[in-house]
């Protein structure tokens, strides 16, 4: 059984992420999409909420599981017996940091390989940060995030703006 992990912050999941999930799920028996918790960053959604949004968005893929972890990715992969980490590469700008992380992860867990999937050209410029910016201006999020979560993102943005006064 070949299992791969697709780690990220997914705050929130975008159609760019979903495209990678769909393509990676077709390459492995099982794909674990893992929300990696970075305690220094507070996001738009809590890790539990991000998991929920990912579950809603990936319900149609039977071999995709969604999880979250505050461990090092290398340790998490070992515990879950996954041998491959999948990463999406949008542009040259992603490359340096991603290769650096791949090398460190292999140093920590020599059996762990990182595989890169090139972003679909439709989503090369899409990021969670762009989605948050668009939501702030009230732009229609259709075509940017999975349709199952459009309302959740809009609702949270309104709540956040309400708090800011």
- Residues annotated catalytic, as ranges: 17, 41, 90, 128
Site pattern 3..42 for ligand ADP (x: CB under 6 A): -----xxx---x-xx--x----------------------
DSSP result, 33-92: EEEE--TT---SS-HHHHHHHHHHHHTT-TTEEEEEE-S-HHHHHHHTT--EEEEEE-SH
Site for ligand ADP in 45-74 (CB under 6 A): none
Q: What is the CA 135 to chain-centroid distance, rounded?
A: 18
> Contacting ligand ADP (CB under 6 A), which of 18, 24, 73, 126?
126
Bridge partners, 5 (sequence order): 32, 85
Calculate the alpha carbon distances from 119 to 3, 15, 56, 57, 113 in Å.
21, 11, 22, 18, 19
| Least distance (Å) between residue 16 CB and ligand ADP | 2
Out of 83, 90, 106, 132, name the contact with ligand ADP by CB under 6 A: 90
Q: What is the largest CA-CA distance in the chain?
A: 52
Shortest distance, CB of residue 15 to ligand ADP, whole angstroms? 7
Closest contact distance (angstroms) between CB of 59 and ligand ADP is 19
The binding site for ligand ADP (CB under 6 A) comprises 8-10, 14, 16-17, 20, 87-88, 90, 94, 119, 123, 126-129
């Amino acid at each position: 059984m070949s299992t791969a992990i697709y780690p990220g912050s997914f705050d929130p999941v975008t159609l760019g992420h979903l495209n990678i999930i769909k393509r990676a799920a077709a390459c492995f028996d099982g794909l674990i999409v893992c929300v990696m918790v970075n305690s220094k960053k507070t996001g738009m959604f809590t890790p539990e909420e991000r998991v929920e949004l990912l579950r809603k968005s990936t319900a149609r893929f039977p071999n995709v599981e969604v999880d979250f972890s505050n461990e090092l990715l290398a340790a998490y992969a070992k515990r879950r017996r996954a041998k491959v980490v999948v990463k999406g590469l949008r542009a040259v700008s992603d490359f340096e940091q991603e290769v650096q992380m791949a090398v460190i992860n292999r140093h920590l867990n020599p059996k762990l390989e990182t595989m890169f999937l090139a972003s679909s050209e439709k989503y090369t410029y899409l990021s969670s940060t762009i989605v948050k910016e668009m939501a702030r201006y009230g732009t229609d999020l259709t075509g940017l995030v999975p349709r199952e979560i459009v309302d959740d993102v809009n609702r949270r943005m309104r709540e956040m703006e309400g708090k800011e006064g």
